[in-house]
Structure 1
Amino acid sequence: MAALDAVVDRLCCPVCRGSLRPDGRRLLCPAGHAFDIARQGYVNLVGGHRRHHGDDARMVTARERFLGAGHYGPLSSTLAELAAAHAPADDGIVVDLAGGTGHHLSAVLDASPHRYGLCVEASTHALRRAAKVHPRAAAIGADVWAPLPVRSGAAAVVLSVFGPRDVGEIERILGPWGVVVVATPLPGHLAELGRLVGGIGIDPRKPERLAASFRRFERLALHQVTRRIALGHGDVHAAMAMGPSARHLTDDDLARAIARIPEPVDVTVAVDVSVHRSQRH
């Protein structure tokens, strides 16, 4: 609750856009709209009908297992280093869009000890974990394709790691000289698993589409995180079950496919991490 209390003045009511304040186990706006705080510490700030429910329990558990094994450690470190290096000196928060369990946000906050963070996520299964991932991280339920329940100019850093993003909303919530740090998988990312197990591949036009979406921003940095990792069958299962392929493959499908591949299997991690600042400043 301490982190939520610390960032509540950066939030706004998703219904009327008014300010929010703590009121016992809920957040309340002047118009009387109230939002209950879950016992795990997160709060759902969804105005109206929920269009997206995010990852299910199976996907969130798989993601927590895979990330917890350290396979994306260099990616988390790169995100943290770039955020700390390029963020303005003000007290703006770090907003992690579609932040899942808050794994990468936690690393960024460790590298920026004066900042608080906010994980914005649709999945209640992920929010239960994100609310407890770091003492300076709060978590709210929201749809990243809808107007965010975040005040204009509240963020010093916006993180977007492998997730959907509304660039217009990112630009709105960034404060003066704020930056967005984006992680985008390259076509070779985990490609061996696609060939061996099946599933959905990476769109080769992703870098092109990213550049087009951030055309009003100046790119400040671009780093590639590339490495080879050796995965046992359990990690292969987690890698496949945590991503979009999980919506098309059952656990039985995965188990049969994984049983046919060698153990361990060498897999490529290939991710672009870029930093952008709006040119309106």
Structure 2
Amino acid sequence: MTLASLAEWLRCPHCGSPLTDAAPLTLRCENGHAFDANKRGYVNLVAANDRMTGDDAAMLDARDAFLGAGHYEPIRDALAAAVPSAAERIVDAGCGTGYYLAGVLGTAGNSDTRALGFDLSPEAVRRTVRATGSDGVVADTWRPLPLRDGCADAVITVFAPRNLPEFHRILRTDGRLIVVVPSGTHLRELRADGRALDVPADKAERLQEEASSLFDVIGVERVAYAMELDGAAVEHLLGMGPAARHREAASDGRSESVTASVDIVRLRRH
């Protein structure tokens, strides 16, 4: 990652003009708006009045531990297989620790593939940049994205918020959007006793309906299997996602079988 390569993805969040490298460690647009880039390889373009907060370090530590143990490796492998091998520019929307993007880049057929990870959490973006060597930007999915029109061949998003109009805008014509959503049976054992949040049974169907005016559905793949988790792994799983902010009951420390079940929805930009 260089400041120049980072700038090639980005537009000014104030006026929409392209950002350019104005070293040292500054990105600037033609209208004089300037932004300080981080030495670690990313820039924060979240508005100062944005009150949304991303995942904190404790949640990301739990995610690193759980994902690093390989429990979601079949999901990562299926996601990587769903990304077109010809994709040269990939955006990970809600990149988290960079685990899924690393898997995609590890199987990319083009050695010139470039990637950008964005997340509302600065710590998440830092970890993604470190883990993958990608460019990184701190951005709020629910706001107009500070990314240029048509800058990506593919957008991936895993268990993360989706701004479909903005994803449509940043994808090139015929670009691909690959979304991973939990199915109705995902983590059902933990949901049954209130340790995990409920999941609507029709998330994939609702996504396809919401996307229909902007995207064509290419296919939907179900990835489902049983995970044998010890007490520590269960604690990491409960602590790495949205349930971490809401849960009261903790694991009792015993090993248990927990269902992983997700749908990978592949969409093509109209």
User: What range describes the TM-score normalised by the shorter chain of this pair?
Assistant: over 0.9
Count how many residue pairs are aligned between Structure 1 and Structure 2: 266
Q: 1:18-37 maps to which residues of 2 (within 5 A)?
A: 18-22=17-21, 23-37=23-37
Q: Aligned-pair RMSD on alpha carbons?
A: 1.7
| CA–CA separation in structure 1 for the residues paired with 2:90 and 2:239 | 28
User: Shift in Å at residue 144 of structure 1?
Assistant: 0.5
What are structure 1's unaligned runs of at least 5 residues?
none
Residue in 2 that maps onto 1:229: 227
Percent sequence identity over matched residues? 36
| CA–CA separation in structure 1 for the residues paired with 2:149 and 2:70 | 35
| CA–CA separation in structure 2 for the residues paired with 1:194 and 1:174 | 36
| CA–CA separation in structure 2 for the residues paired with 1:26 and 1:132 | 20
| CA–CA separation in structure 1 for the residues paired with 2:87 and 2:204 | 30
Residue in 1 that maps onto 2:256: 265
| CA–CA separation in structure 2 for the residues paired with 1:126 and 1:101 | 5
Q: 1:31-110 maps to which residues of 2 (within 5 A)?
A: 31-85=31-85, 89=86, 91=88, 93-110=89-106
Q: Is the 8 A contact 1:27 1:36 kept in 2?
A: yes
Letter matched to residue 243 of structure 1: G
Q: Deviations over 1:65-102 (max 9, x none)?
A: 111111111111111111035xxx464x1111111111
User: Shift in Å at residue 114 of structure 1?
Assistant: 2.5
What are structure 2's unaligned runs of at least 5 residues?
none
Residue in 1 that maps onto 2:13: 14
| CA–CA separation in structure 2 for the residues paired with 1:268 and 1:153 | 38
Q: Is the 8 A contact 1:119 1:140 kept in 2?
A: yes
Residue in 2 that maps onto 1:242: 240
Normalised TM-score (structure 2) = 0.93
Q: Is the 8 A contact 2:181 2:264 kept in 1?
A: yes
- Structure 1 counterpart SS, 2:112: coil
Change (3 A) 1:180 1:101: same
| CA–CA separation in structure 1 for the residues paired with 2:230 and 2:4 | 42
Letter matched to residue 251 of structure 2: I
- Structure 2 counterpart SS, 1:10: coil
User: Shift in Å at residue 18 of structure 1?
Assistant: 1.2
Q: Deviations over 1:230-273 (max 9, x none)?
A: 11111100100111111113xxx45xx312x6x32111110000
Q: Deviations over 1:116-153 (max 9, x none)?
A: 11111001221220121112x11100000111111111
| CA–CA separation in structure 2 for the residues paired with 1:43 and 1:15 | 15
Q: Is the 8 A contact 1:21 1:29 kept in 2?
A: yes
Letter matched to residue 247 of structure 1: R
Q: 1:62-211 maps to which residues of 2 (within 5 A)?
A: 62-85=62-85, 89=86, 91=88, 93-112=89-108, 113-135=111-133, 137-196=134-193, 198-211=195-208
Q: Is the 8 A contact 2:188 2:258 kept in 1?
A: yes
| CA–CA separation in structure 2 for the residues paired with 1:95 and 1:219 | 19
User: Shift in Å at residue 44 of structure 1?
Assistant: 0.3
| CA–CA separation in structure 1 for the residues paired with 2:27 and 2:48 | 16
Normalised TM-score (structure 1) = 0.89
Q: Is the 8 A contact 1:187 1:203 kept in 2?
A: yes
User: Shift in Å at residue 197 of structure 1?
Assistant: 5.5
Letter matched to residue 18 of structure 1: S
Q: Is the 8 A contact 1:20 1:27 kept in 2?
A: yes
| CA–CA separation in structure 2 for the residues paired with 1:38 and 1:196 | 43
